[in-house]
């Protein structure tokens, strides 16, 4: 186990108690109904989790990336859907706070940043398209500058949070020059004419996390809605991906830890052939493998987060963390179901939900195959 500061351990314990006492009790019901709990999300904001990465001058607490990951890890132990909703909510708000000009902050802080930090609002990030997931070079959503407005046409898919009642809008990655492959990140508020939100998508897991397809049909927004250095939208998104991979790895780590805990407890209680199944070597092998991989995952996650905070190259470590931990969590959930046996296939058993939820983690924020490619690239294997 790696060492954390006293402040990190205190926050971790606080969020753990919150997750156990307030998040866990309704998780199964939210999964069954596919409903998002707005009051619960507001309490996440009141706890300060959403604002951890924001500077104090913007209403946050100025925490480092590892501290944020520890907090989200604890929520993910009992509800992966809520942890992903919380993370994605930062997309638009953090862009305004970190990349906005003074004029843009004056326009959007009140409606985009402050409500998100309080847990009263969510934002979304519009990147993936029907023909462009891991292959971002195939992005087609266009934005054309027409006088003082951007006119956007295209589609985005698998977008988190966009259909929630408290969603204020989406940051959309748009192609602005097909010849040079220039992109811009453009803020599109909810309710903008030409911006349509599709019905909720039916998913095998993460059911209480909202997922939609978005449509832009001559959607017109002011030119000031473009954020960051002109023409560098794609680079910013890719840079954000590396941090996002560490965060998603952290949520998967939380789920893997929980699978280990509940499966171990059950194996000690469940009796077969006259003794607890924890005394059988095959079961022991599954549990000890889980324990080993959780510890290894924590080490690589912590290293990646600390490299990021130190301003050192961390793309390889971020990809390794995403690859190893999400695959580890997928295996942990599978083994947990196996240990629970028939009960593991029942919705009454948390392992069933964890098994369904974690499957998307090896795909979102870059597939396992893409992470392997990134590691190879960073090792210089393609030169």
What predicted TM-score, i.e. pTM, was given to this entire model?
0.95
pLDDT at 330: 98
Q: Are residues 111 and 25 in the same domain?
A: yes
> Positive or negative CA dihedral for 233, 124, 22, 260?
negative
Catalytic residue, chosen from 29, 184, 365, 369, is: 365
Q: Are residues 49 and 165 in the same domain?
A: no
Tell me what pLDDT residue 234 has. Answer: 63
Q: Which pLDDT score is estimated for 135?
A: 74
**Residues 252, 277: one domain?**
yes
State whether 148 and 220 are in the same domain: yes
Is residue 365 flagged as an active site residue? Answer: yes
The answer to whether residue 1 sits within a structural domain is no
Identify whether residues 210 and 284 lie together within a single domain: no
pLDDT of residue 167: 97
Helix (H, G, I), strand (E, B) or coil at 130: coil
Q: Considering the domain boundaries, does residue 365 fall inside one?
A: yes
| pLDDT at site 137 | 74
Strands (E) in 140-246, as ranges, are 142-146, 149-160, 167-177, 182-189, 195-197, 211-222, 226-227
The domain tally of the chain equals: 3
* Residue 77: inside a domain: yes
**What would the two tokens of residue 103 be?**
């004029």
Query: 85 and 181 share a domain?
Result: no
46 and 95: one domain? yes
90: CB partners within 8 A, 6+ apart: 50, 53, 116, 123
Q: What domain range is 304 assigned to? A: 234-378
Domain closes at, from 188, 204, 230:
230
Percent of the chain's residues with pLDDT above 90: 85
CATH number at residue 30: 1.10.540.10
Say whether both 148 and 84 belong to one domain. no
Closest CA to 67 of 44, 92, 48: 48
- Final residue before a domain boundary, out of 230, 247, 277: 230
Where does the chain have alpha helices with state H?
6-18, 27-33, 38-47, 65-76, 80-88, 90-99, 102-108, 114-117, 233-269, 281-309, 315-340, 350-358, 368-378
Same domain flag for 91 and 179: no
Asked whether residue 56 is domain-assigned, the answer is yes
Res 232: pLDDT: 65
Low-confidence ranges of the chain (pLDDT < 70): 1-2, 231-238
The per-residue DSSP string of 327-339 comes to HHHHHHHHHHHHH
Query: Does residue 161 share a domain with residue 136?
Result: yes
Q: Nearest to residue 159, comparing CAs of 255, 91, 221?
A: 91
Res 181: pLDDT? 85
């Amino acid at each position: 186990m790696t060492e954390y500061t006293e402040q990190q351990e205190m926050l971790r314990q606080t969020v753990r108690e919150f997750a156990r006492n307030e998040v866990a009790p309704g998780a199964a019901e939210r999964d069954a109904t596919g409903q998002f709990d707005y009051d619960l999300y507001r309490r996440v904001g009141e706890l300060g989790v959403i604002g951890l990465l924001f500077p104090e001058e913007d209403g946050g607490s100025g925490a480092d990336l590892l501290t944020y990951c520890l907090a989200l890890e604890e929520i993910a132990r009992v509800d992966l859907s809520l942890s992903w909703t919380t993370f994605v909510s930062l997309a638009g708000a953090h862009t305004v706070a970190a990349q906005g000009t003074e004029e843009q902050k004056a326009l959007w802080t009140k409606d985009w940043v402050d409500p998100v930090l309080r847990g009263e609002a969510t934002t979304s990030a519009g990147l993936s398209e029907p023909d462009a997931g891991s292959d971002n070079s195939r992005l087609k959503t266009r934005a054309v500058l027409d006088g003082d407005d951007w006119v956007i046409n295209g589609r985005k898919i698998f977008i988190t949070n966009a259909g929630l009642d408290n969603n204020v809008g989406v940051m959309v990655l748009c192609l602005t020059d097909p010849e040079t492959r220039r992109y811009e990140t453009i803020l599109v508020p909810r309710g903008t004419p030409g911006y349509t939100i599709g019905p909720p998508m039916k998913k095998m897991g993460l059911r209480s996390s909202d997922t939609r397809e978005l449509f832009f049909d001559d959607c017109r927004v002011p030119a000031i809605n473009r954020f960051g250095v002109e023409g560098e939208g794609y680079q910013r998104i890719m840079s954000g991906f590396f941090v996002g991979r560490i965060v998603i790895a952290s949520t998967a780590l939380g789920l893997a830890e929980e699978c280990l805990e509940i499966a171990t407890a059950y194996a000690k209680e469940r009796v077969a052939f006259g003794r607890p199944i924890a005394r059988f070597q095959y079961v022991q092998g599954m549990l000890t493998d889980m324990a080993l991989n959780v510890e290894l995952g924590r080490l690589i996650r912590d290293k990646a987060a600390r490299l990021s905070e130190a301003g050192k190259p961390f793309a390889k470590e971020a990809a390794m963390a995403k690859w190893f931990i999400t695959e580890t969590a997928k295996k942990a959930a599978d083994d947990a179901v196996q240990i629970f046996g028939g009960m593991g296939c029942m919705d009454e058993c948390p392992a069933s939900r964890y098994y369904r939820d974690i499957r998307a983690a090896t795909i979102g924020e870059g597939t396992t195959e893409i992470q392997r490619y990134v590691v190879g690239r960073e090792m210089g294997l393609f030169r």
